[in-house]
Amino acid sequence: MASSETQIPPPAVGEPTAAAKPDEKSTLPPLSDHDFRVYNHLAEHMDMFHNHFRAQWNMLYDSCVKKKRAGGQSIRSFIGTGLQFCQQLEFHHGIEESYVFPMLAKKMPEFRKQEQLIAQHRDIHKGLDKLQDYLGKCSSGETELRLAELKVIMDSFGKVLWDHLDEEVETLGAQNMRRYWTKDEVQRLRL
């Protein structure tokens, strides 16, 4: 090697080598239907959880907009659904932060830089805490349930929640996963 050539330091531990590092501009060959399903299984699994949160959110939010509890639910049932939404989403994010994100960070820069994902969780949980506090007071009888007040709380974090739910699934989609993981590796990943 000539002394005038620049030396490139070796990649950090866990960092893909130059040959393995995905190139945003490169075009990957099409996936077979089978391979697409293999690479996309984490996105589908995550979307299943996210669809549950979307459905609960929509039921609560639509009730606020229509100023009438969905399906003739009792107040107790409606509040219970809202509290369940809060608890399940908090639990889901806890699992992501302690297990899923670190596992994916081994190869994916999107998860190595968890600041954005954690910041989204923080923003969501600011609103979620308000929602849980309000519904808790309604449940105990300390406060009367007012759908207009509930809507204001939900509006305070709805956009970041929905963006986050969509972006996470997109990041785990087949076209992105195949840039970092082999088929065998993806098959061993479990949520």
Q: What is the pLDDT of residues 25-47, one digit of tens each?
A: 457 889 999 999 999 999 999 99
Give the SS3 label for residue 171: helix
C-alpha span between 78 and 74 (Å, rounded): 6
> Is residue 9's pLDDT more than 60?
no
**According to the model, what pLDDT value does residue 189 have?**
87
Q: What is the pLDDT of residues 60-116, one digit of tens each?
A: 999 999 999 998 899 999 999 999 999 999 999 999 989 998 899 899 988 876 667
**According to the model, what pLDDT value does residue 1 have?**
40
> Is residue 17's pLDDT more than 80?
no
DSSP string, the chain: --TTSPPPPPPPTTPPPTTTS--TTPPPPPPPHHHHHHHHHHHHHHHHHHHHHHHHHHHHHHHHHHTS-GGG--HHHHHHHHHHHHHHHHHHHHHIIIIIHHHHHTT-HHHHSHHHHHHHHHHHHHHHHHHHHHHHHHHHTSS---HHHHHHHHHTTHHHHHHHHHHHHHHTSHHHHTTT--HHHHHH---
The pTM score is 0.80
